Amino acid sequence: MNKLNLLKIILMLFCGVFFTRCSVENSTQDIDKANISVKLFDAPGDYEKVYVDIEDVLLLIIDDKTEPNCWLSLNAKAGVYDLLDLTGGIEALLVDNLNIKTGMIYEIRLVLGDNNSIVTDGKTLPLFTPFAHQTGLEIRVEQLLKPNLEYTFLLDFDVSQSILKTSTPDYIILKPELRSSLEVLSGSISGRISNIQTQAQVSIIDEKEQISTFTDTEGNFMLKGIPAGNYTVQIIPDAKSGYSEITLNNIDVTVGNVTETGIIELK
């Protein structure tokens, strides 16, 4: 065998090992990834509009906030969202099926900008966020992300608990109160009220869970991120409508499913 043929053989072997190694590495990298999505929806408040300026969603991947690189950005869809649009089953998709490294995550953090405001009695007022970097924006999750699985986190922004009025009428504080649930570990309740011209608040009556929403313009509602169990649902129509409150008993919620209440007649 001459030197030229020997050199060709060595080169072919080298290329074979190189590409095989690259293929294995790429395969390993794919196996070590999980997909994550984040959806935002609203628990209601007595306002016409609530605009929240969302800049990003972060994950705490090292359970020590003094450590560098302890937060991982999910490059969320930034923008100003009207929380009161996110009712009746409507939600904002902040992070859509992002491929990230597997491992433990400890907290989810919603990062807000400064362009927050509410509309009440036809007047737009700024929302001040002196607590923006405190725990009001952070939700403890302690979830292990496993390879090749999809994780969808539901963030329930409780408007009524997040907006704090002060003795100064035009100075209103935004201190976000958030509830997080994992879609795959929870269920939902949906239905529709008969009179679409009347808005109603729909809530779960439960000592542990505070979950509520408003009906939309077509009377639809959806309560999301509910742990499996048996619940009582309360429907409170607008006081000006003249309709009475309705209580629905023994509503069973199972993981991964939507429990339908059907059309509910207001009286």
The per-residue pLDDT string of the chain (267 residues; one tens digit each, 9 = 90 and over) reads 555 454 454 555 444 444 445 444 444 445 588 999 999 987 666 788 999 999 999 999 999 999 999 999 999 999 999 988 887 778 899 999 999 999 999 999 998 888 999 998 889 999 988 754 444 478 889 999 999 888 999 898 888 788 888 888 888 988 888 888 888 788 999 999 988 788 888 989 887 777 888 888 888 998 988 989 999 999 999 888 889 999 999 999 998 899 999 999 998
Six-digit token pair at 167? Answer: 């003795």
State residue 210's pLDDT score.
77
State residue 157's pLDDT score.
85
Q: What are the structural domains of the chain?
A: 33-184 (no CATH), 186-267 (2.60.40.1120)
**Contact yes or no for 51/174 (Cβ under 8 A):** no
**Contact yes or no for 208/232 (Cβ under 8 A):** no
Q: Which amino acid is at 161?
A: Q
> In which order are the strands placed within the sheet that holds 258-264?
220-226, 187-193, 258-264
State residue 138's pLDDT score.
82
State residue 151's pLDDT score.
92
State residue 215's pLDDT score.
87
What DSSP element (H or E) covers 13? helix 3-31
How far apart are alpha carbons 86 and 98 in whole angstroms? 22
State residue 24's pLDDT score.
43
How far apart are alpha carbons 91 and 94 in whole angstroms? 9
- Residue 35: CB partners within 8 Å, gap ≥ 6? 97, 98, 99, 100, 149, 150, 151
**Contact yes or no for 229/159 (Cβ under 8 A):** no
